[in-house]
Amino acid sequence: MTADPTFAPQLIGKARADLPHEDPGWWAAGLYRSGDGYLLAGAGGPDSEFAPAPGEKGCIRELDETEAYNWAASHLTIDQVEEFFDHLTQEI
């Protein structure tokens, strides 16, 4: 993914695990639309998919449109999914 200095990532939505913050599986993440793709930024406990690497506070992953849609459909509201992925939901 090539960075576009004129386009700031746009937040699509945030989600978090329904666990206490102290739980090793706890996580919180935000899905963003960037200039040419999607970013999933999150942080979490050592047993979560967002467990930070040693010395880091969180993680950022690049997603393609299908991965971003699937994450959004699993973790965000239907309104958020339709607003950003309406062209995909109409095909279903």
- pLDDT confidence of residue 80: 92
Q: pLDDT averaged over consecutive 10-residue blocks of the chain (92 residues)? A: 67 96 96 93 95 90 95 95 82 54
- pLDDT confidence of residue 8: 87
Q: What is the pTM of this model?
A: 0.83
- pLDDT confidence of residue 30: 98
Query: Which residues lie below 8 Å from residue 86, measured CB to CB, with a gap of 6+?
Result: none
Q: Which residues pair with 17 in a beta bridge?
A: none
- pLDDT confidence of residue 88: 78
Locate 54 and state its tokens: 């040693």
Is the distance from CB of 30 to CB of 11 less than 8 angstroms? yes
Locate 27 and state its tokens: 């996580």
Domain locations in the chain as residue ranges: 10-89
